[in-house]
Structure 1
Amino acid sequence: MMIWLLIACIGLATFAVRISFVLGLGKVEVSPLVLRILRLVPIAVLTAIILPQLVLPTGSIDFSTGNPRWIAGILAALIAWWTRNVFLTIAAGMVALWLLQWLL
């Protein structure tokens, strides 16, 4: 019972933080500089989540050609840059990772 109460409280806190930005920024004029900076937040967050998974597969930095995650990540980044298609990027990255893991 206690765990469910904790989950509910954390959910309410998360909702409160998110709704505060929606309600607060809806009434405030935000400068163009802040808007430009806010557009970069998702990229920074995704990079912080994904990059360690690509270069630290065993706990130490590995930029070698024996690291299939790094190579598949480079391929996915190139496809993302070239096509701007999220689904194609994910599919190509996963297929490249599976093939590289099978080959290496």
Structure 2
Amino acid sequence: MEIRWSILIIILGSALVTFIPRVLPLVILSRMQLPMGLIRWLQYIPVAVMSALIAQELFISEGQFAFVNNRLDWMAALPTFAVAIWTRSLLGTVIVGLVCMMLLRWFF
């Protein structure tokens, strides 16, 4: 098997570009004492990102606001939201969402 050096360099460069932004902040911030207000603020980032992604999927269709465009999405979202609120488990929420959507697509 022949190694194509250009492809190898692209793969290694991509790995480096992906690795640096993930590890560098972790290394730097692990040695610092962050203020409690900043820590509380950072805890809301995953929720805000997920909310933005879900809201775009549920409320926007073809570039316009559409509240009830896809009933299957809403039928899967409601039990998923309930599990997220009750359990506060990301894994449980993802599993319930996937199973709900899978079953709804299978039946309908």
Asked whether the two chains share a fold, i.e. TM above 0.5, the reply is: yes
Asked if 1:88 is matched to 2:92, the reply is yes
RMSD value over aligned CA atoms?
A: 2.6
SS of corresponding position for 1:64: coil
Structure possessing the higher radius of gyration over alpha carbons: 2
Gaps of 5+ in 2: none
TM-score by length of 2: 0.70
Gaps of 5+ in 1: none
Identity among equivalent positions (%) equals 27
Deviates more, 1:34-43 or 1:46-55: 46-55
TM-score by length of 1: 0.72
Deviates more, 1:26-35 or 1:81-90: 81-90
Q: Select the structure with the greater relative contact order (CA < 8 A; seq sep ≥ 6).
A: 1
Alignment counterpart, residue 55 of structure 2, candidates 51, 62, 83: 51
Letter in 1 for 2:48: A
Count of residues in Structure 1 that have an aligned counterpart in Structure 2 = 103
Deviating above 4 A after TM superposition, structure 1's stretches of 4 or more consecutive aligned residues are none
